[in-house]
Chains A and B, each alone.
Chain A
């Protein structure tokens, strides 16, 4: 780990463009120990509060410093947004979730092993050096939206649920506050894989807001190599409502398949207004994976995602095989 300067913020404006933020520290500290991240200045935002979950316009505002454990345990979250609670609980371990924050979780970095090994070539870590993952061990990598510069995935669970729930991210900068739909917050690698999301230097996530509860069946399905404490191979977040025997509303998001939580409006459109059936689900899943493109070592993700989506839709609609 390189020596660095450490300060504690007392107000948001203490944060300068040269600062790196530390919240729970469960990701950035690991990366600093590996020297994947080598910030010269660290600013600790724990003194800033932002630990409340409050009700707004029929929805919820979750402060950026709300710990994952507290968010998943909140009665309103569990009642109205069970998808969110389930996604959080599917991630990491109790110890990590006790530290991890809502803001930090959104900004967690990829688990691509080449990114995590400083001596490997990685455009995300060291722009312009190349991508060793492209022809290397890429079992966990992207099947959607990758570029020749980067095939890494966004690995988190919580953000996938937030995407299906239509959340927004509130960002506090020197010039004021802005709110972006979570689907726009993370970005695809394109020519700039080093940039995970829209945050500009010196900006801070202050909270995440959730629209009014949509009800219906909410499912988070995380497919993984072991039963717990493993990142998703693929994950599916679904919120489905049925009225008069037809799907009235379908919100779907997919994790660990792209550089950002993935969404495909065409799949949702194909479901809405239809009677639930295995045939319909298979069509929707085919539509989704029809656009997927495997890397050298992860072709399995395509059938896996297809089947996981079918399973989730069947479970959400009580459709028996």
Chain B
């Protein structure tokens, strides 16, 4: 079975199984370990005789190393070696690269680039020696630092349909606005860390990774060894948010040093190094042009974006990704331009594309609604196309209108004042805002093994990672539901490269892709059980260890006759991915307060309503949505990578200075999950949810800010300095 998913699976099998655990808000099986500190994370393994390595990074932005003064450092207490191997990574690998990043080890291309690894008996000795290592440089300034002034070129072929300029010229209502969003850091709680240990030519890495099967290939390529020599163990991952999709310098440096020293080596990035050497989301500038007729129907839609990356990096923040399919407008111009600058690598960070693209698009839609004299919800509903513009393929499923309507009712949208500056409570302007949510849906190749043990218990195995998202929980639920096994008797093993390759955690595709592989393995086991029972598998009922079909019934353990049944299930994207426009949808409703004096913006209420196919676990899905909405609050109000334009150096490289939202920034968030079956998305009828909660949130917040105080935000995050000059005089 090749497993391509070529036509919608309309059986909705998981609605006909009887165990009753799919969709339930069950606790994560590993939750207890995590909250009591007993789940072992990458840096916490203690192989015998393990040495510690600390990376040394460049203190100039561009140039060459002239000299590394190693001798003095080698003589320091505990120091075992200084490594500058040319195979060591200078940049992290992009997500799904499957090979080591292209790099020139002789060149320094950005401020903070890793240059060397100092290894010592203890972490403290290594840290001291790393800081004391003196490197002299030849400095260049060939590549610019400021994306605003650097030349740019289209990242890929622009999408041009009809004549946007003409549509704008003839529009009854139009918006032409330019938005800026700041760069973001993934800022996962667990820093990037690896412990490398060699057994002969075989390498074991305990690391923190999102996509193990790709990471194995990347590591093997970086180290010039065969992939089968690399084993990765990554059972628990303390968040990734894109930053652990590809391998990073810690793993390669640890492996090289461990080989040379003949003992295990641990490399943990400092918090500052995570910020300065891993991945940033590019800052963006986005010009939105919306042209509408007298009824507010879009006739033209322009979304042009400018982003940046290092030279040679293929990744360009796909800002217009959702704009392609979300709204109508026959005359279009969508493009992303990229500037080559000297700053740390730009890559996938929390919903690349939509997170910032939807932010600007939804803010522009709000402005259009105002100009057209329409309620912003009505404007959006009027502009939902019946098929994807330019491609004319149907939507697999889309609950956007339902999300807007249900959200409006739950939130009390009718209380919104149509004009800004109408509600003041003491020092605070109060306002409401709405935005759509949309994020593309992807199915990725995945495999998983399911083993029904002779005693009727279940083992599910895949190299799929759980980066704090709930993979352990939902994969167990799918298998237990399909095979009628109570959840207490289901065991899930993940994050080991020796297990069948799951999809990995990224792009919101882990649950539906690896879940589909589990589903298919279970289907094969169901077929075999049905055969043994003498029944048709589509009539087979499995629950609580009993197989039945019509009159026939037998305990599953009896059908197993003392032997386990084991199957590997596989799925690959197929024709459904081409035949249908697939995305998850939703809506955000937000109430903000803007201080009339100090321009501080605080969220009062935020509601997200989401439809993403089948909900596999109410609790983990809801948590994903909540987390995404918190990201959205950060993107709207406080998160901003700040660079020195003279050398591209990141100035706020820790969690004190890089302002993620804190508890006090988060009000009582609310989430409504809409039940939906998307038969074209996956055999589970499930779509992605992980990133949906961020895709548009900041737009709703910006729109609420406008409704509160009458100031449109064109630059994000909306910190006080960006509002204060335009706020109405507080004293009148």
Complex interface: stretch among B8-16, B162-170, B352-360, B720-728: B720-728
Complex interface: stretch among A122-130, A145-153, A240-248, A306-314: A306-314
Cβ distance A14 to chain B, nearest Cβ, rounded Å: 26
Cβ distance B648 to chain A, nearest Cβ, rounded Å: 12
B307 interface residue per 8 A CB criterion: no
Cβ distance B601 to chain A, nearest Cβ, rounded Å: 10
The verdict on A304 contacting B665 (CB below 8 Å), with A111-B657, A136-B646, A226-B659 known, is no
The verdict on A303 contacting B731 (CB below 8 Å), with A113-B657, A137-B642, A137-B644 known, is no
The verdict on A278 contacting B731 (CB below 8 Å), with A2-B128, A111-B657 known, is yes
> Cβ of A113: which chain B residues have Cβ within 8 Å of it?
651-652, 657
User: When chains A and B are docked, how far (Å) is the Cα of A182 from the Cα of B380?
Assistant: 59
Q: Are B662 and A227 in contact (CB under 8 A)?
A: yes
B156 interface residue per 8 A CB criterion: no
B560 interface residue per 8 A CB criterion: no
B330-363 toward A: CB 8 Å interface, digit per residue (1/0)? Answer: 0000000000000000000000000000000000
Q: Are B638 and A226 in contact (CB under 8 A)?
A: yes
> Cβ of A143: which chain B residues have Cβ within 8 Å of it?
none
Which residues in chain A, 1-24, are within 8 Å of chain B measured between CB atoms?
A: 1-3
User: When chains A and B are docked, how far (Å) is the Cα of A119 from the Cα of B664?
Assistant: 34
Q: Are B644 and A310 in contact (CB under 8 A)?
A: no
- From B127, B602, B731, B732, A1 is in contact (CB under 8 Å) with B127
A230 interface residue per 8 A CB criterion: yes
A287-318 toward B: CB 8 Å interface, digit per residue (1/0)? Answer: 00000000000101101100110110000000
- From A2, A114, A227, A304, B721 is in contact (CB under 8 Å) with A304
User: When chains A and B are docked, how far (Å) is the Cα of A304 from the Cα of B599?
Assistant: 8
> Cβ of B659: which chain A residues have Cβ within 8 Å of it?
225-226, 230
> Cβ of B657: which chain A residues have Cβ within 8 Å of it?
111, 113
The verdict on A308 contacting B597 (CB below 8 Å), with A1-B124, A3-B128, A228-B662 known, is yes
Cβ distance B185 to chain A, nearest Cβ, rounded Å: 15
User: When chains A and B are docked, how far (Å) is the Cα of A119 from the Cα of B646?
Assistant: 14
A172 interface residue per 8 A CB criterion: no
- From B127, B643, B664, B721, A300 is in contact (CB under 8 Å) with B721
Cβ distance B68 to chain A, nearest Cβ, rounded Å: 16
User: When chains A and B are docked, how far (Å) is the Cα of A132 from the Cα of B502?
Assistant: 48
B730 interface residue per 8 A CB criterion: yes
- Residue of chain B at shortest CB distance from A303: B724
Q: Are A311 and B730 in contact (CB under 8 A)?
A: yes
User: How many contacts between A and B, using CB within 8 angstroms?
Assistant: 96
Interface size on B, residues (CB 8 A): 39
Determine chain A's interface SS by DSSP, over half rule.
loop
User: When chains A and B are docked, how far (Å) is the Cα of A113 from the Cα of B643?
Assistant: 11
> Cβ of B638: which chain A residues have Cβ within 8 Å of it?
225-226
Q: Are B598 and A311 in contact (CB under 8 A)?
A: yes
Cβ distance B676 to chain A, nearest Cβ, rounded Å: 35
B531 interface residue per 8 A CB criterion: no
Q: Are B720 and A226 in contact (CB under 8 A)?
A: no
> Cβ of B661: which chain A residues have Cβ within 8 Å of it?
226
A321 interface residue per 8 A CB criterion: yes
> Cβ of A136: which chain B residues have Cβ within 8 Å of it?
644, 646, 651
> Cβ of A225: which chain B residues have Cβ within 8 Å of it?
637-638, 659, 719-720
Which residues in chain A, 195-241, are within 8 Å of chain B measured between CB atoms?
A: 221, 223-230, 233
* Residue of A111, A139, A224, A229 ringed by the most chain B CB atoms within 10 A: A229
User: When chains A and B are docked, how far (Å) is the Cα of A298 from the Cα of B722?
Assistant: 11
User: When chains A and B are docked, how far (Å) is the Cα of A1 from the Cα of B128?
Assistant: 5
User: When chains A and B are docked, how far (Å) is the Cα of A136 from the Cα of B721?
Assistant: 17
Closest 4 CB pairs of A and B: A300-B721, A227-B664, A311-B597, A228-B664
Q: 30 A–B contact pairs at CB < 8 A? A: A3-B128, A111-B656, A117-B651, A119-B59, A137-B642, A137-B643, A221-B598, A223-B598, A225-B637, A225-B720, A226-B637, A226-B659, A226-B661, A227-B602, A227-B662, A227-B665, A228-B662, A228-B663, A229-B656, A229-B664, A233-B721, A300-B720, A300-B724, A303-B725, A304-B724, A307-B597, A310-B597, A311-B597, A311-B598, A321-B731
Inter-chain pairs besides A310-B597, A311-B730, 19 sampled, C-beta below 8 Å = A3-B128, A117-B649, A135-B646, A137-B642, A223-B598, A224-B600, A225-B719, A227-B662, A227-B664, A228-B663, A229-B664, A300-B724, A303-B725, A304-B598, A304-B599, A304-B724, A308-B597, A310-B731, A311-B595
